[in-house]
Chain A
């Protein structure tokens, strides 16, 4: 292939195919619907790729788990409200250890909210949306090329961790068209890590706490803790392989800006004035990586499309005060960033000048 215009949502779909996905199930919801449509078109030409438009997101989430157990790498795509409906299935998949990928192209919530406007308000939902304790893997790309790359990596991490991995995007990134040559992006693909159904065993895939032989362990705290710790430690180990992040811009500056997803692109004109830390792996948090560089900076500012969801996480992780620039109501723009910085007294003089607009890179 050569360079061509590719949309963020399309890049996610192409990454899934590259990763070896064999099953998609979804329900139409803005701003993710292009993935559903393109999965259906791909299936029409490739019968080995199975597609279902389900009756709702609850069905979608459960269907991809059934498909994964049956032997296919599987995924769905949705947005905030649909992702909320999937949460029970997310917990179920974590309990059993089923690899799958859920793409969440974020819009502005809560409720039906602003269906076509970009938001980043699902970060905590990707971590704590289901009940109980579990270790989530969540990646959030910033460019169309990265949508492709981290779509593949999401499938890889799903296999390595045997869990449902969330690939975050947003209305802005999902609908962004950029000129890319996806052939130039090489990502090794992790093969399947669980044996498909009906290949000789008599396994019981149960969401209920069970002993290895399938008998209920619903009142055995010791057994529960043993399984939980084993699972958590295993996923922490897997996380070491997927510590995706970016550290750059003006590293000699006094202040560190933390931005991710499309917000990092919007914040690009701040490059001369601040250092940048961009978590690509949103969860598990990059404690080691950020912990090493944070002490070099007098101030830390988190710019994000929610009212401090990730800033609170960073503050607690580093045990120090963090400034906030929330971009709310879908107003994710350089103008909103400038206003937010001005409000906390951190707007560089050069950017305050009337008409000072740098190219968004």
Chain B
């Protein structure tokens, strides 16, 4: 098997705009899958609505293209019924942390052994460029002509409320760190979240002053720096990995029986 066998190349070109960052994530994911021996018999993709959600259609895996925001309930249920499968969620920042925010909060808490790869372009790209939950305060968007007024959501902080979680911040410019993060996240025995800064030139970049996708990549190179060794928290525009205690994931234990009302094996 080769990396390209992970992709449905006959469906290329993709629907993504020229210069979009999603393809860079898909490429690294496919490559990591090849390294780890992930294939259509042991792995399922779960994607959400948004540009990123289309990734499932381009990969040679079974994939569930969920409703907007509902990747995590679907992914957790699949993992619960079929613990032997690798369940990988790929979705955008809006899908994951705005409309799907409540599920994110509780998935973090329940700590299922699923991997989330979040294409974080700080915008609602597919719908034309509206303010998202990750949009930096003051950013001009289609729905915030005078600048967005709210602070972006703190994904690192949210994920780290789980003492057994894995959180990585990287960018599509930093291919090596991104590759390492995706690989480790898939191998992590619990909830793992890879937060990938990624450019949306057409529906965000141009509006905030970038002339091309390349300029946006250059800005990632200039702005994002590796976190110091041993950091327990990523500050500002740092890339790095925060691993909390990696303990084996306990099999979810249902509420203990409080009465014998359902006894009799349901015959």
Residues of A within 8 A of B (CB): 1, 10, 13-14, 17-18, 22-23, 25, 37-38, 40-46, 50-56, 58-60, 62-67, 69-72, 74, 88-89, 92, 182-183, 196-208, 210, 213-216
Contacts and interface: CB of A to CB of B under 8 A. Distances in A.
A210 B54 CA distance: 12
B81 A23 contact: yes
Which 6 pairs across A and B sit closest by C-beta, in order of nearness?
Answer: A17-B266, A66-B74, A66-B77, A70-B81, A206-B65, A43-B254
A55 B44 CA distance: 23
Contacts of B103: 55, 58-59
Interface string B58-82: 0011111111001011111110111
Contacts of A210: 57
A40 B106 contact: no
B77 A13 contact: no
A45 B263 CA distance: 9
Interface residues of B, number: 49
Contacts of B64: 66, 69, 197, 205
Contacts of B57: 204, 206, 210, 214-215
From A74, A204, A206, residue with most partner B Cβ within 10 Å: A204
A176 B34 CA distance: 57
Contacts of B82: 70-71, 196-198
23 contacts: A17-B266, A18-B267, A23-B77, A40-B255, A45-B257, A50-B80, A51-B255, A52-B252, A55-B105, A60-B73, A63-B73, A66-B75, A67-B78, A70-B77, A70-B82, A70-B85, A182-B267, A196-B82, A197-B62, A198-B40, A201-B40, A207-B65, A214-B57
B74 A38 contact: no
Given A43-B254, A63-B73, A1 B67 contact: no
Nearest to B85: A198
A183 B267 CA distance: 7
Contacts of A71: 81-82
Contact of A64 (B61, B72, B77): B77
Contacts of B255: 37, 40-41, 43-44, 51, 53
B261 A41 contact: yes
B36 to A, nearest CB: 15
Contacts of B67: 62, 88-89, 92, 207
Given A42-B262, A183-B267, A197 B257 contact: no
Interface string B223-267: 000000000000000000000000000001011111101111111
A9 to B, nearest CB: 10
Contact of A89 (B43, B70, B102, B266): B70
B81 A50 contact: yes
Contacts of A197: 44, 62, 64, 78, 82, 85
Contacts of B265: 17, 46
Contact of B78 (A10, A14, A69, A201): A69
From A14, A63, A214, residue with most partner B Cβ within 10 Å: A63
Contacts of B74: 62-63, 65-66, 69
A70 B267 CA distance: 25
B66 to A, nearest CB: 7
A215 B267 CA distance: 45
Given A67-B80, A206-B57, A14 B266 contact: yes
B127 interface: no
A74 B43 CA distance: 21
A120 to B, nearest CB: 27
B222 interface: no
Given A63-B76, A183-B267, A214-B11, A38 B60 contact: no
B219 interface: no
Nearest to B76: A63
Interface string B20-61: 000000000000000000001111101000000000110011
B40 A200 contact: yes
Contacts of A55: 102-103, 105-106
B106 A59 contact: yes
Contacts of B81: 22-23, 50, 66-67, 70-72
Nearest to A14: B266
From B72, B78, B106, residue with most partner A Cβ within 10 Å: B78
A305 to B, nearest CB: 27
Contact of A44 (B60, B62, B105, B256): B256
A59 B63 CA distance: 18
A69 B44 CA distance: 11
